[in-house]
A and B are shown apart, each in its own frame.
Chain A
Amino acid sequence: MLPTDTRSPGYFHKVVDCQYACPAHTPVPHYIRLIAQGRYADAYMINWVSNVFPGVLGRVCDRPCEPACRRGRIEEQPVAICRLKRVAADYKTDISARLPQGPFPKNGKRIALVGAGPASLTVARDLAPLGYDLTLIDEGRAGGGMMRTQIPKFRLPDEVLDEECGYIEGLGIATRYGARVNSLKSLLAENYDAVFIGTGAPRGRDLEIPGRQEAAANIHLGIDWLSSVSFGHITAIGKRVIVLGGGNTAMDCCRSARRLGGEDVKVVVRSGFKEMKASPWEKEDAMHEDIPILNFLVPKSFTHETGKLTGVVFEKVRAEYDEKGRRALVHAGEPDIHMPADDVLIAVGQENAFPWIERDIGIDFDKWGMPVVDQDTLRTTHERVFIGGDAAFGPKNIIWAVANGHQAAISLDLFCQGQNLKTNRPGPHAALTSQKMGLHEWSYDNEISNSLRVTVPHAEKSASLTNIKTEVELGFGPDLAISEAARCLNCDVQTVFSDALCIECDGCTDICPVDCITFTDNGEEPDLRTRLNAPAHNLSQSLFVSGGLKTGRVMVKDEDVCLHCGLCAERCPTGAWDMQQFMYQSAKAGV
């Protein structure tokens, strides 16, 4: 193999698993260290720069970082990254003085942002300090989009959302709340330099089975129902509730129903438990609230008497896999089941809807009715129209919407400044800084904690089930936060190797607790992987290969399970190993 080029930002970026997995590339280990030091406001600002909504995401993020966490490959559980982020938001001091301070000198360009969800708010946050004249339009009475309408208050209190939307609105953005855009053509006619669409996936998918029309009064579409609950239009539900669907919306529906009078609430899912789309922790929380999850049941019809819903008939199925591993649900050969119910909530998926976009203004749509969009620039086929978040790619999650927002902001800025959206696109910022403080002292805590993942304290179930606004998770306090933060392996502090300094004394190989360093003859990667001191099966993780050493061998390090404990550098007599912090910041508009 050729020597690894550690100066290329891409190499060490991949080693920081959590940051790499985060769509917004938040420098996770860096802010976790700040939390451990009690520097909550500093940790918050690191987050705010990258993901814009630390308080919101610290509660309801989909956490792509946690399955990626290296700790999960070495012991059982990853670091509770999401809940640590919440600690930064909960315990920070007033950070308003650290935000960009307006008024900003105007640059004369006007941009309309349609929909005030996480994607549009991110665009607004990135572009306002650059002097853009921004108008945020949303049919709701306040900003936040689905974060406000679809996420129940017991998971995300209004104060948290109000605070973080307020930081952005405070940057001098014109808001048109309560106003609905009915025609993109007429919006474009208002002479905006560009338009960004961040309207999410606002339409709940329906279930057209017998009885749907007749029993309509007690059958509700999940996201519409959640939004009515959120605004206080709905305050009660029947005692027996069936929730259809296995995603996170279904989990929010069933838990909300429990709080509005539902005593016998069930979730019924077509697929098996493991294949459900809901995050494991959301399923756990639902089951903790005495909500059974019933699998492999396909709804066949709604039963009703005198126009009132009486229940749902389900067909029992089982999963069969063909030779290509594709799943088919086949009849299980058992009689159908009737479950009585007073209300049914349908949460079987969401769709995008663009009835307000004229099809003749130059925006192409594909055969599924989704706008054609450039994955990198987020521009539609119309020169002035950009789109991001769920509106562009279908239902995903908040952190993807934020990541799209950053990219759209870069594109909008380049476009308004007359630059090429692809060739002039800024690259990431990356820097390596040695952490050496003394002979065996580093400016990070390199002692590896053996403690297991800390569970988050919850409010008393009796209290949280009686008030839909009582937040269930209480979050870590400072002590629990320190214990959990210590579990972080500091994967951003990199093992940097200088082959010219190495004398091949084996000090690093001998001390490495996870046997990831080998000195051996060079070869092609598949061959090298078989000749290392410990198995290197994880092909998604790189091998770090040095240049030729004095004996003609090379140093090969399998990055897979490296603890970043720095013992290789401590046992190195010549400083050939050094621990260097890798700071990676993805590009932002104007930065």
Chain B
Amino acid sequence: MHVIIINGSPRVEKYSNTEKIIDAFSEGLAEAGVSFERYAISNKNNWDEAREAYINNTEIIIALPLYVESAPGILLEFLETLPVKDKNTRVSFILQSGFAEASQLRCGEEFLKKLPEYLGVSYGGTLIKGDNFGIRVVKEEEVKKLTGPYKEMGKTFASGNGFFSEAVKKFAGPEYFSLPIRLMLQLMFKTIAKKRFAEAAREFGCNVPLDYRPWA
């Protein structure tokens, strides 16, 4: 198996959470003896290369962050440039998000389920998982803790069945959080999380409150 992995995130690769997820995932592929090539579409100068790889190969994974409930605009624009292929090509997806519950990714997943039909190709399933916002703001050594689970999913994908296994379903985590967890989260959002976001903002060089209203 030889896999083409396309990072569909608009964020430059250096800061892309999706890129770090692909790092871990492709480590798993490599350990299982699967070769891969990686492309990213955040820079439009790389689109021709990514498209060529899509055209000339049959095992494709598009990894993407959830942007307002579906695929990011830049990825939609790139997808419009792809030619229609046939069912010998299989396209699978890695969909990740900041929001934590699996239910938050279902609308995005639905778009990805239907997309292969429009592209003429077969569908290899979608690996979904939320709670990935932290990758951006934690220290470098902590990133691997967050992305680590994706390595196992790389090995799972290498077995050849796309993203349809029970392990993939479990990987998505709970559809909704239970009431006790929601109450705990609500408390955390008002305290620890708020403080951490404010700290992150200071590191970004922000000097106004996060709820500042420029157009009030």
Partners in one complex: no
